Structure 1
């Protein structure tokens, strides 16, 4: 697998995954029913942030991540990131590889820490992965996410120093 900056062709190939994940209503509070161009604005970042694609050896798009400053100005020393993996690639280490990549990128860029602002507490696979990669749940906003399968559930704020 290689992880590289997303191209327009990658974005077009990734868009069905973006739509599937958002419409499942389990992990992201993005609006449903976005067009290709509207969704691009929610996922594809501009510098100083970056959006990457994970691509298999056979050229298959496996997932994507975006990372950059969590806040502007005086908060820009802390990074944040978001991740989506295609349904066909789940359970194959793609999320971990993307997580490790964004942590390395953030260190190289001089960020002091990384913070995830909204990890859905019922997304136990993601919570465990981020904990395995050194993140700690520093708080949970109760009933802040309206999960399609679970109703209102908490959003974890997760953090780790770099």
Structure 2
């Protein structure tokens, strides 16, 4: 059900990303980002993008090396699930897929650089999958309704 995204998927991927980016409460992305800029970000250089497709595309994620040089063995991912599919295991399935494919791509660890503490569902999902919170950035995110909140750095060896 998870496959590599194609150019034909861009409209559907945008329809999944847009409400999340516009809400401004889970990603450190300008809520007014244009469609073109959002897709350039998501499908950015060196990123491999996947979609959860069971006949309808219900989620998308990317995987990319987190740093160059000596840090290039650590990857980073971003995941977004369609509003209508939240709570149905789509994010967990994409996480499982990313954990499976990362070593095949040569990665030995996965790091999430900026997980908002208010995103309880994501934090709990990552913790259950064996990630550790290895850092806390106090007040690093200006949440639209909660004010300045902490961002977490989460890490897992593969």
Give the TM-score taking structure 1 as reference length: 0.93
Structure 2 residue aligned with 1:130: 126
Over aligned residues, Cα RMSD in angstroms?
A: 1.1
Structure 1 residue aligned with 2:102: 106
Structure 2 residue aligned with 1:26: 25
1:108, distance to aligned residue in structure 2 (A): 1.1
Runs of 4+ in 1 over 6 A off after TM superposition: none
Structure 2 residue aligned with 1:142: 138
Give the TM-score taking structure 2 as reference length: 0.95
* Structure 1 segment 6-155 matched on structure 2, within 5 A: 6-47=5-46, 49-56=47-54, 59-155=55-151
Tell me if the contact between 1:62 and 1:94 (Cα under 8 Å) persists in the aligned partners.
Answer: yes
Tell me if the contact between 1:5 and 1:50 (Cα under 8 Å) persists in the aligned partners.
Answer: yes
Residues 119-148 of structure 1: per-residue CA shift (max 9 Å, x gap): 000100000000111101011100001111
1:35, distance to aligned residue in structure 2 (A): 2.6
Cα distance between partner residues in 1 of 2:33 and 2:7: 17
Tell me if the contact between 2:59 and 2:82 (Cα under 8 Å) persists in the aligned partners.
Answer: yes
1:104 partner SS? helix
**Larger deviation: 29-38 or 94-103?**
29-38
Aligned length: 158
Residues 61-86 of structure 1: per-residue CA shift (max 9 Å, x gap): 10100012001111101011000000
Tell me if the contact between 2:24 and 2:30 (Cα under 8 Å) persists in the aligned partners.
Answer: no
Cα distance between partner residues in 2 of 1:120 and 1:148: 12
1:7, distance to aligned residue in structure 2 (A): 1.4
Unaligned segments of structure 1, at least 5 residues: none
